[in-house]
Copies of this chain bind each other. A is one copy, B any other.
Amino acid sequence: MPKAKETRPVATAPGGRKAAEPAKAATRTEKVHEALRQAIIEQQLEPGARLPEDMIGESFGTSRTIAREALLRLSVEGLVDLMPNRGAFVANPTLDEGRDIFVVRRGLERMVVLQLAGQLSSAQIEELRQMLVNEELAGARDEREAIRLAGEFHLRLAGMTGNKLLVRYLTETVSRCSLVLTIYGRPHSVDCGLDEHRQIIEALIAGEGERAAELMEHHIEQVAGRALLETRKPRSVQDVLSSYAERISRG
C-alpha cells in the first residue's frame, strides 16, 4: 500500500458532461471507499473490527478527512457501523438483520427479472450468454473469481433495466449479502448455481416473467441457505408482551 504524502495529484479531467449525472471523477475518497469495500467483502477485514480514521489515512497516504468520508459512505451502504464519538467498525449484522437483507434482495431481484422478461435485446442476450460461459470457465479453477463473476451477473442483469436506483439498491444489497454469508454462510456455500442462472436467462428470453421471478426467488433462497431464510424470525419482546396482554384482557 502506498504511503507517500506528495502534493495533490492532478484530478482526472471531468470531461464536460451536460449535467444530471454526478460525473465520476474517481476522487481519492472514492478510491479509498472502494478499497475498503472490497476488503470487507473479501473477508480481509473481520466483522466487528475497529477502523480508526488515522489508520486508514496512513494506509492510503491521505488525511483523516478522506478516510472519514469513505467511512461515512460505507456506513450508508451498511458495510460499516458508525458510532458517534466511538468510531467505525466493520458491520457485524445479526442473523435477523442478515435475513432482512436477503429478503430485500430477493424482492429487488424479482423486480429486475419482471422488468426484463421479453425485453432483452439480442445484444443483451448475447452478453448474458457470454457471462455464463465466463462463469463456467472461471468456476473450474478460480473459486474466488467465480464468486465475483456470479455477483456480477446479478448486477449486470439489474443494469439492463436501465433503472439507476434499482442498480444502486441491488449493488448495496449484494455487497451486504456477501458480508452476511461470510458470517453465517455454510463453508461449502453453493454461491450461485450456474444452471439456475441459465434457466433464468431462458425464461427472460421466452418472456415468461412470472416464471423467471420464481426461479430468481428460489435461486436467492438457495444462496441464502436454510439458516437464513427458512428460520422464522422470533417476535420482539414487545410483540410477545402485547399479545399476552391481549390474551389476558380477553379473559
Please list the residues of chain A having a beta carbon within 8 angstroms of any beta carbon in chain B: 11, 14, 19-23, 25, 27, 69, 72-73, 75-76, 78, 81-86, 89, 92, 94, 97, 100-101, 103-104, 107-108, 110-111, 115, 121-123, 162-166, 169, 173, 176, 233, 236, 239, 242-243, 246
Contacts of A21 in B (CB 8 A): 81
B82 touches A22 (CB 8 A): yes
Q: How far is the CA of A92 from the CA of B233 in the complex (A)?
A: 40
Across the interface, do A78 and B165 meet the contact criterion of CB distance under 8 Å? yes
Q: Is the CB of B243 within 8 A of A121?
A: yes
* Inter-chain contact A104/B165, CB cutoff 8 Å: yes
Known: A100-B165, A103-B111, A107-B110. A242 touches B76 (CB 8 A): no
Task: Give A160's nearest chain B residue, CB to CB.
Answer: B239
Q: How far is the CA of A67 from the CA of B239 in the complex (A)?
A: 39
Interchain nearest-CB distance for A38 vs B (Å): 19
CB distance from A239 to the nearest CB of B (A): 6
- Residue numbers in B under 8 Å from A165 (CB-CB): 78, 97, 100-101, 104, 173, 176
Residues of chain B lying within 8 A (CB to CB) of residue A242: 121, 123
CB contacts (< 8 Å) of A25 on chain B: these are 84-85
Q: Report A200 CB to chain B, min CB distance, Å.
A: 18
Residues of B within 8 A of A85 (CB): 11, 14, 25
Contacts A169-B104, A236-B162; A246 near B84 (Cβ below 8 A): no
Residue contacts A-B, CB under 8 angstroms, 19 given: A11-B84, A14-B84, A19-B81, A19-B83, A20-B81, A20-B92, A22-B82, A22-B83, A23-B83, A72-B72, A97-B164, A100-B162, A100-B163, A103-B166, A104-B111, A107-B107, A107-B108, A122-B246, A162-B233
Residue of B nearest to A17 (CB): B83
User: How distant is A209 from chain B, measured CB to nearest CB, in Å?
Assistant: 13
